[in-house]
Amino acid sequence: MIQLNASAEDQLVAIYPEVTVSSSVDSLRFNYVQDYDMSSGSFNGDILSKKQWVVATVSGSVVPTFTGQYTFDVYELIPGAGQIWNLSEEIFSTSTVVWNEGTADQVGQLLTTERGYVEGTNGSSLTTYNSPNQNGAYITYNS
């Protein structure tokens, strides 16, 4: 299980891949889907160790901001050359690079699919009212 915190600077993620990680790969791509509302996205992490367990570091600034249960597909991230329209296998609407500039990373093989929990910035707060006529506690949610 992957546990992340959106407010932490850098955090470690350890996965046990179902296939061998290529020796030339130094980064991972985490594609996620939140189980509650099916929102999705992706972020990258840098590999620190590639033994039986793969250990990577992830910045909290790229982690999803909403608290909850997620499903993560973890892929190899292969440094690539610039995009060429008719030769690229990347879908235009999912690309995060400018097509005629620089280099684009390519997603490699699927390493594993993991369950995960993200502690985000929308956690609930507890407000307690203790006046003589208003004993009770109310949970308020921040949007």
pLDDT tens profile 58-71: 998 999 988 889 99
pLDDT of residue 79: 75
Compute the distance between CA of residue 19 and CA of residue 27 in angstroms, rounded to an integer. 15
Average pLDDT over residues 42-56: 93
Q: Quick one: tokens of 37?
A: 């509302």
* pLDDT band with cut points at 50, 70 and 90 for residue 111: very high
Backbone angles phi, psi at 60, to 5 degrees: -65, -20
pLDDT of residue 99: 57
Average pLDDT over residues 19-44: 92
64: CB partners within 8 A, 6+ apart:
4, 6, 32, 34, 39, 41, 70, 118, 120
Query: Residue 9's domain spans which residues?
Result: 2-140
Count of structural domains, the chain? 1
Among 37, 36, 32, which residue's Cα sits nearest to residue 3? 32
pLDDT of residue 45: 94
Compute the distance between CA of residue 22 and CA of residue 34 in angstroms, rounded to an integer. 28
